[in-house]
Amino acid sequence: MTHQASEATGANPTEVTAIVAAMPEEVRSIWRRLTRQAACRVGRARVLHGRLGRHVVVVAATGEGDKLARAATAELLRAFPARRLIVTGAAGALSLGLRAGALVVADQVRRPGADPMRAEGSLVEWAARASGARPAHVITTPAIASSVTAKAALDERHGDGGAAVVDLESAAYVEAADDAGVPWLVLRTVADTAEESLPAWLEGCRDAAGAIRRGRVAWALVGDPRPLPRLLEMRRRIATGGRAAARAVLSLLDTWPAAGIEIRPRGRTRAREEL
């Protein structure tokens, strides 16, 4: 698959940037910008590789939740010798100062009760300036933080008084990158604010792997259609955020070499035959 990727793009495979998100809606705008593209499957993940502007990229929708995110990313980084991993997609705001559509870049990623995985400070500062993103803590939880109360509790415990968002996958992506010795950057857009709640039954619509089953959502709406406008608005915000993230990712890739900044790999590293 590594040979196929370099053959399809005609580029040095060591220059590949891997881009991951949970849902196709979160990377569709990037997929649409790709040229010389080819598609494949990596596990359950849908993957397109090609060129984003002048850059060789491999872009995957891994599926929602910790298990799918980590497994797909680990397999993706084995198949494609990426120089860096960019995580994108939607998140929920924990801090009150973040509006819907705000772009954030992670200065640290953590699971509740675990030590934070800190991003390289100089890279975060540069990425924030280059993309207009706000540095923020990213908290990855095993369950959807659907209520205002749950968001406030997470913010109090982990926000450290600054900007903070919550998601289901970033820690898994970062752990997979660290295991592979691949540098990472997390760039997310806010889909729901700290003052907004999601349906309490949404967590029950996830399967054993953590993915949200659309059929279960539809069935739940049959019994209680009141959340439908909110969910449709969320869908719109995710799509809008995906377009903003696509522009930001391309801007970062265009200026990354000129910036003279490269993040150092963290965690375990291992020799990789592809490199």
pLDDT in tens, 230-257: 999 999 999 999 999 999 999 999 988 5
Q: Which residues of 134-148 are buried (b: 16+ CB within 10 A; e: fewer)?
A: bbbbbbbbeebbbee
Q: What is the mean pLDDT of residues 185-200?
A: 95
Q: Map 32-62 to HEC letters.
A: HHCEEEEEEEECCEEEEEEEECCEEEEEEEC
Contact status, residue 98 vs residue 190, Cβ threshold 8 Å? yes
User: What is the chain's Cα-based Rg?
Assistant: 18
Select the more confidently predicted residue: 32 or 159.
32
Task: Please name the residue that has the structure tokens 């889909």.
Answer: 191
Q: What angle do CA 72, 77, 78 make, to 5 degrees?
A: 100
pLDDT value of residue 271 = 30
Q: What is the DSSP letter of 206?
A: B
d(CA 96, CA 152): 9
Nearest residue to 76 via CA among 127, 143, 27: 27
pLDDT value of residue 61 = 96
Q: What are phi and psi of 87, to 5 degrees?
A: -95, 130
Contact status, residue 50 vs residue 34, Cβ threshold 8 Å? yes
- What domains are defined for the chain? 2-259 (3.40.50.1580)
Nearest residue to 249 via CA among 13, 9, 28: 28
Exposure on the CB side of residue 217, measured as CA atoms within 13 A? 14
Show Cβ contacts of residue 30 under 8 Å, excluding neighbours closer than 6 positions: 19, 52, 57, 59, 88, 242, 245, 246, 249
pLDDT bracket for residue 30 (50, 70, 90): very high
pLDDT bracket for residue 211 (50, 70, 90): confident
d(CA 168, CA 166): 7
Contact status, residue 236 vs residue 176, Cβ threshold 8 Å? no
How far lies 133's CA from each of 27, 95, 102, 128, 189, in Å?
18, 15, 8, 5, 9
The residue type found at 235 is R
Q: What does pLDDT average to over the chain?
A: 87
- N-term to C-term CA, the chain: 14
Whether the per-residue pLDDT at 274 is higher than 80: the answer is no
DSSP 3-state of 167? strand
Measured in residues, the chain has a length of: 275
Whether the per-residue pLDDT at 22 is higher than 90: the answer is yes
pLDDT bracket for residue 103 (50, 70, 90): very high
pLDDT value of residue 4 = 45
By CB atoms closer than 10 A (0-12, 13-18, 19+), residue 264 is exposed
pLDDT value of residue 10 = 43
